[in-house]
C-alpha cells in the first residue's frame, strides 16, 4: 500500500484521514486493551478511574510471586474474580463495530490484552481473536496445568472455599490469565507476532501501550511496513511514531471509522 501522509499530532489527524487508511488497507490487525471495555462497565487499570489508580494495592493480585506466596492475596483474588463485572458485561458499540468490520474480510486478527471475552461475545470468532494475556473464563492449576471452566471454581467460592485448590492434584489455581512475572504462552505470542507482521495497518484500541511484549507488536508491525494508528483516551509511548493518533471515545469512534471503511 502506498504510504499516505497522515499527521501523528494528537490535535491534527482527522477521523476522515484514519477512515481513509482503513478503507485502503487490505489487512488490518487490531491490538485492543482495557479502554475498549470501559463502556461495557469494566474499569481499566491505569486510567483516571482505573483499578490500580484508585487502589495501588490491587496490583498484588496480578503479580505471580505475591499470588503464590500470600494466601490472603489469593483469597482477595478469588473474591475479585467472583465479583468481576465481566460476568454481567455486554459488548459495546466498539466491539460490535469490529465484528462488523471482520465481515469485510480485511480484519487479519484482533490481538487483545483483555481477559473478559467480550470480543467473542460480540460474535467475533475464536479464530480471529488472539488472547495474548489469557482469559478470565477458565481457571488453571499452576502445578499440573489443568484447566476447568471458571464458573465451576467460582461455585466453590460461593460455597465457602476461600482459596479453592485443584481437584486433580491439590495445586494452587488462578485464572488462566498472564500475571506479572509469568511468561506468555509461546504459541499465543507467536500468533500475535504473525498477526502484526502480516498486516498493512496496525491499529491499537484502548491500550496504554505500557505493557511488554504486547506493546512491541507496534514495532514489529511497523518494521514489516505497516502503518500505525493509535486510538486511546490518554497519551501512549507510541504516539510520536504513530501515523495517526485519535482520542475520541471508542464506543462512538469505532463505529464511525469502521462503517466509513
In this structure, are residues 103 and 72 in contact, taking their beta carbons and an 8 Å threshold? Answer: no
b/e burial code for range 98-125 (CB count within 10 A of at least 16 → b): bbbbbeeebbbbbbbbbbbbbbbbbebe
DSSP assignments along 107-159, one per residue: EEEEEE---S-HHHHTT--GGGEEETTEEEEEEEETTT--EEEHHHHHHHHHT
Helix, strand, coil shares of the chain, percent, nearest 5, are 40, 20, 40
Which of the residues 23, 84, 119, 133 is marked catalytic?
133
Is 23 considered catalytic here?
Answer: no
**Beta-ladder partners of 202:** 29, 228
Catalytic residues: 133
Amino acid at each position: 500500500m502506498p504510504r499516505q501522509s497522515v499527521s501523528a499530532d494528537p490535535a491534527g489527524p482527522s477521523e476522515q484521514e484514519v477512515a481513509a487508511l482503513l478503507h485502503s488497507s487490505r489487512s488490518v490487525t487490531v491490538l485492543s486493551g482495557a479502554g475498549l471495555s470501559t463502556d461495557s462497565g469494566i474499569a481499566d487499570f491505569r486510567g483516571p478511574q482505573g483499578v490500580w489508580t484508585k487502589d495501588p494495592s490491587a496490583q498484588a493480585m496480578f503479580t505471580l510471586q505475591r499470588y503464590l506466596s500470600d494466601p490472603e492475596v489469593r483469597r482477595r483474588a478469588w473474591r475479585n474474580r467472583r465479583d468481576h463485572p465481566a460476568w454481567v458485561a455486554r459488548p459495546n458499540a466498539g466491539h460490535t463495530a469490529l465484528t462488523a468490520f471482520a465481515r469485510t474480510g480485511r480484519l487479519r486478527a484482533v490481538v487483545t490484552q483483555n481477559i473478559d471475552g467480550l470480543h467473542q461475545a460480540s460474535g467475533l470468532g475464536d479464530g480471529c481473536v488472539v488472547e495474548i494475556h489469557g482469559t478470565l473464563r477458565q481457571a488453571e492449576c499452576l502445578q499440573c496445568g489443568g484447566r476447568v471452566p471458571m464458573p465451576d471454581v467460582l461455585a466453590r467460592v460461593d460455597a465457602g472455599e476461600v482459596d479453592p485448590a485443584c481437584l486433580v492434584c491439590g495445586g494452587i489455581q488462578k485464572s488462566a490469565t498472564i500475571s506479572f512475572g509469568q511468561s506468555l504462552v509461546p504459541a499465543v505470542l507467536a500468533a500475535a507476532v504473525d498477526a502484526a507482521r502480516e498486516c498493512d495497518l496496525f491499529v491499537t484500541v484502548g491500550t496504554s501501550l505500557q505493557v511488554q511484549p504486547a506493546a512491541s507488536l507496534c514495532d514489529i508491525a511497523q518494521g514489516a511496513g505497516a502503518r500505525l494508528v493509535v486510538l486511546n483516551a490518554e497519551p501512549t509511548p507510541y504516539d510520536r511514531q504513530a501515523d495517526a493518533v485519535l482520542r475520541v471515545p471508542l464506543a462512538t469512534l469505532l463505529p464511525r471509522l469502521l462503517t466509513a471503511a
